[in-house]
Structure 1
Amino acid sequence: MLHFITDFADQGVMLPVMVTVTFIMAVYGWWRGAVVWAVTAVTMLAVMLLLKIAGLYYAAIEQTAIISPSGHVAAACMVYGGLLVLLGQRYFMRFPALMLVPLSGIGIAVACTRIALHTHTLFEVITGGMVGCAAGFVLGRACGPVPQRLWLYLLPGVTCIAVLFHGTHLGIEGAIRAMFMPRKIMS
């Protein structure tokens, strides 16, 4: 059951879902939402990459275990939490702090699976959650009013892509380590 849940937040699912959301928003003609979504997604992924690289170098310098913030948690907060924030946007505009409820709720669910599977520490899932929640918060504040009929396409589209790609693993963590791990750690 833990793998089933955490696999919905693997980059093999998240990347196609992120692209699908951008595509549906653009095809529907909601350009502001498409641009904000795409820029936020790329920025969140870039921040996570930089944090993972920094964790590798920190481990090399301090000769400690590798610190690798959870991309699963960050992506789940931004994508699934961000969609929930956009769905309830009219309520969150009056009380922006309430955006943390769906954002952190999604993050906690995925974080628990990552910790239970011994793939991340508490610090790593909290770090990923903070990055993902920040991205979801940006979506909620910067996208503007969501066209109501857009949800007729967006929710089924996201659901279909997430189910279709569920179980796909990209192994991005290994690729990051292979490309950026200092020689001192690798030997």
Structure 2
Amino acid sequence: MRFITDFGDEATIIPLFVVTIVLFIAMGWKRNAAIWGIGIFLTFGCIVLSKMLGLLWAQFYGYDGHPFSASGHVASSSAVYGSLINMIFQPRFHSWLMAMLPPALIAALIGYTRIMLHAHTPMEVVAGAGIGTTAATLIARVLPPVPTFLVHWFAFALVPVILFFHGYVMEAEPVLKQTFYTSYYFLNQNIGW
């Protein structure tokens, strides 16, 4: 399970995101690199926002257990991998439903590992899947077909990045919690939040 779930870790997803943007720009696909990059960046923002709102809800209502936290692994992997797969097979996807299929399958696979590893509840996985699948589907519907020469570079440039960073773990959750609690207590002391 750990082997599969590590494909969705931020330590793999973020370098893949950066290299993909650089590849798109280097291959002259600048406008669409911006569209894809903004779409994925907004997805990352939605993940962080959902986690912060879960912590805020727990703080307001005095919940001492595990606050609701949408799965970042599921959301980011389904958005990034799902949108890249959609780009490869995009000419075949003429409907919203077909564009949703690859990110939904990735979300199901990574989500299953997150549940089996007791990292997230089923509802947290569903929330992450909703964020990532929606993002990948919207990106697929906005981007024009990817040039064939660029598709060939996907395997050559992106697969080594995935394999190189696979297995590394970025502990983003504790950093987000620390940032939230520091900000919350600062605001609470200074403005009576």
Q: Structure 1 length as normaliser, TM-score? A: 0.93
Letter of the 1:67 counterpart: F
SS of equivalent to 2:107: helix
Moved over 6 A (4+): none
Residue 76 (str. 1) matches residue 77 (str. 2) = yes
User: Please, which runs of 5 or more residues in structure 1 have no aligned partner?
Assistant: none
Cα offsets for 1:21-68 (capped at 9, x unmatched): 111111000112211111011101111111100000111122333111
Once residues 19 and 170 of structure 1 are traced to their aligned partners in structure 2, the CA distance between those partners, rounded to angstroms, is 16
Once residues 52 and 96 of structure 2 are traced to their aligned partners in structure 1, the CA distance between those partners, rounded to angstroms, is 32
Aligned to 1:107: 107
Once residues 155 and 85 of structure 2 are traced to their aligned partners in structure 1, the CA distance between those partners, rounded to angstroms, is 10
Aligned to 1:123: 123
Aligned to 2:30: 31
Once residues 61 and 86 of structure 2 are traced to their aligned partners in structure 1, the CA distance between those partners, rounded to angstroms, is 39
Aligned to 1:164: 164
Once residues 37 and 87 of structure 1 are traced to their aligned partners in structure 2, the CA distance between those partners, rounded to angstroms, is 14
User: Please, which runs of 5 or more residues in structure 2 have no aligned partner?
Assistant: 186-193
Aligned length: 181
Aligned to 1:17: 16
Q: Give identity over the alignment, percent.
A: 30
Once residues 79 and 158 of structure 1 are traced to their aligned partners in structure 2, the CA distance between those partners, rounded to angstroms, is 12
Once residues 119 and 174 of structure 1 are traced to their aligned partners in structure 2, the CA distance between those partners, rounded to angstroms, is 13
Matches within 5 A, 1:27-66: 27-64=26-63, 65=65, 66=67
Letter of the 1:3 counterpart: R
SS of equivalent to 2:139: helix
Once residues 96 and 178 of structure 2 are traced to their aligned partners in structure 1, the CA distance between those partners, rounded to angstroms, is 40
Once residues 49 and 95 of structure 2 are traced to their aligned partners in structure 1, the CA distance between those partners, rounded to angstroms, is 32
Contact persistence 1:86–1:139 (CA under 8 A)? no
Letter of the 2:167 counterpart: G
Residue 144 (str. 1) matches residue 156 (str. 2) = no
Contact persistence 2:100–2:134 (CA under 8 A)? no
Q: Structure 2 length as normaliser, TM-score? A: 0.90
Aligned to 2:179: 179
SS of equivalent to 1:88: helix
Letter of the 2:153 counterpart: Y
Once residues 155 and 13 of structure 1 are traced to their aligned partners in structure 2, the CA distance between those partners, rounded to angstroms, is 16
Letter of the 2:95 counterpart: F
Letter of the 1:165 counterpart: F
SS of equivalent to 1:144: coil
SS of equivalent to 2:8: coil
Letter of the 2:25 counterpart: A
Contact persistence 2:43–2:135 (CA under 8 A)? yes
Larger Rg: 2
Contact persistence 2:9–2:169 (CA under 8 A)? yes
